[in-house]
Amino acid sequence: MQSVDTTSAAAAAWSDQELQAYVVADAVTAVDARGKTAPMPGWLVAGRPAVAAGEDAAIDRWTHQMGNSHPDDLLELLRAWSTCLDRPGEIVETVTRARHEGEWRVVEARRLNLLDDPRVGAILVAADIGDVVDADTPSALEPSPTPASAPWSILYLDQLGTILEVEGLAEELFGAGSGALVGTNALDRFPPEVHEELLVTWVRIAAVPGTVHTLRLPLRRGPDTWVEATVINRLGGRLDAVLLIVHDVSEALAQEAALRESEARLRLMAERDALTGALNRGALDQRLRDLFGGPGGDAMLAFVDLDGFKAINDRWGHEAGDAVLCAVAERLQAAVRPTDLVARFGGDEFVVVCDGVAEPDGVAVLQRIDDLLAPDVEWPSGSWKPSLSIGVAHRRPDDAAIDLLRRADQRMFEQKRARRAANP
């Protein structure tokens, strides 16, 4: 890594162990182990102390660097500064884009927090300026997880949360400029329902200098505006303020919600029978594996077969058959608890699984199934009086899922044969 001066990109080489800095004539100067020095350009340096006679060292802000940085990289820079303040003495590296000598260039920078070093009192930034890039073309930089153009702001607060100074896009973020914000309490920027959470966080952070905490909160300006807020306690140091670094994550959260919804729909499509909405065979197999993967407990499995279903399709067509299958699936689901499983096993066969149901309680479940399936299933051109063959098996201590299925299936066929024998 090389430091960069205002006239040339060539300067001394650095290593993390050798990176040092000191202040000469109101400028941060970097020095390596060989004693070679190079002044740091102002637009790359944050935290440069003021050394006017009789004044305590003060902290310059980040406005210059933010103003020269690519909009897509601002959030990455905010995170870098936040991390740097939180970890004194550690090298924090970033790769971003910045306007340099009228062109967009890749900037590899290392930040070192020396605010507590009396010889320096600054955050040193050593940087390499690389190739020219097209600002409108996606680069090889790591993409930001939040929208690049999301508004950001930095609030400097006193120990009571009063806003002392504001940087960044306050108007876009809070709906009020810095003039309206300074002197007010930062708590007022957030809706009442999150005040308790914020106050608890504030008390914990304010008690320990150097503490950092990040949380996501809605803004008072509207329920759809959410921010990620990082609170950094720098009270008692040169800065003597609490930093509140805020950026808008509304679009990112909306994208995350849309992604979760899409994934949920895909999972639903993968697990559900397209016609009836009941679980499909694959999903049933997985749920049974999950159920039987733990300690043995009570469980009831009912294997349900529709008697004479082929005749429905032959007489009225597949639309009638589909109506019957959908009605049976809906009634089976209504007969059991929401946590119980109803699956289409294949064709006109269904499986019902009730976890935690012992044999005596299974009788009541079967009665509910009989009651709900008793009414005729109707469609525009006809109707069908449900007739079912049901085989039931209850879990035994050594049962695997396949054992329960086989016993229920066998009992269903036994019931079906008995009915055929009784009604030749």
CATH of the domain at 292: 3.30.70.270
Alpha carbon distance 370, 113 (integer Å): 74
Q: Which of 3-7, 220-224, 379-383 has the highest average model confidence (pLDDT)? A: 379-383
Asked if 333 and 407 sit in the same domain, the reply is yes
Higher pLDDT, 256 or 74: 256
Please check the confidence at residue 164 and state whether its pLDDT lies above 90: yes
Residue 119 clears pLDDT 70, i.e. is over it: no
Question: Is the four-CA dihedral 182, 188, 189, 194 of positive or negative sign?
Answer: positive
Residue 324 is assigned to a structural domain of this protein: yes
pLDDT at 122: 59
pLDDT at 71: 73
| pLDDT at site 231 | 87
- Both 283 and 415 in one domain: the answer is yes
Annotated active-site residue 348? The verdict is yes
Based on the domain organization, do 178 and 320 belong to the same domain? no
Angle, CA 304 vertex, CA 301 and CA 307 arms, to 5° = 165
The pLDDT of residue 161 is 92
Q: CB within 8 A of 25, min separation 6: which ones? A: none
Name residues whose C-beta falls within 8 Å of residue 144's C-beta, 6 or more positions apart in sequence. Answer: 72, 73, 75, 76
pLDDT number for residue 367: 92
Q: What is the pLDDT of residue 17?
A: 38
Domain with 247, as residue range(s), is 152-253
Q: Is residue 393 part of a domain?
A: yes
- Picking from 195, 218, 253, the residue at the C-terminal end of a domain is 253
pLDDT of residue 409: 93
Does a structural domain hold residue 264?
Answer: no
Query: Which residues lie below 8 Å from residue 129, measured CB to CB, with a gap of 6+?
Result: 4, 9, 98, 100, 105, 106, 107
The number of domains in the chain is: 3
Which contacts of 305-308 are long-range, i.e. CB under 8 A and separated by 24 or more positions? 305/348, 305/349, 305/388, 305/389, 305/390, 305/412, 305/416, 306/348, 306/349, 306/386, 306/387, 306/388, 307/387, 307/388, 307/389, 307/416, 307/419, 308/387
Q: Tell me: the pLDDT tens digits for 324-364?
A: 999 999 999 999 999 999 999 989 999 999 999 988 888 99
- Here the tokens at position 401 are 């899922």
Verdict on whether the full-model pTM lies above 0.85: no
User: For 230, which DSSP code?
Assistant: E
Residues 204 and 338 in one domain: no
Q: Is residue 340 part of a domain?
A: yes
Assign residue 72 the CATH number of its domain.
3.30.450
Question: Residue 148: is its pLDDT beyond 70?
Answer: no
Q: What is the pLDDT of residue 180?
A: 92
Buried b (16+ CB within 10 A) or exposed e, 374-408: eeebebeeeebebebbbbbbbbeeebebeebbebb
Q: Are residues 351 and 284 in contact, defined by beta-carbon separation less than 8 angstroms?
A: yes
Identify the active-site residue in 348, 361, 371, 376. Answer: 348
Q: Do the Cβ atoms of 98 and 24 come closer than 8 Å? A: no
Residue 62 lies in a domain: yes
Q: What's the average model confidence in pLDDT over 15-32?
A: 41
Between 78-82, 246-250, 324-328, 415-419, the lowest mean confidence (pLDDT) is in 78-82
161 and 108, same structural domain? no
Query: Among 220, 253, 286, which residue terminates a domain?
Result: 253
Grouping H, G, I as helix, E, B as strand and the rest as coil, residue 239 is coil
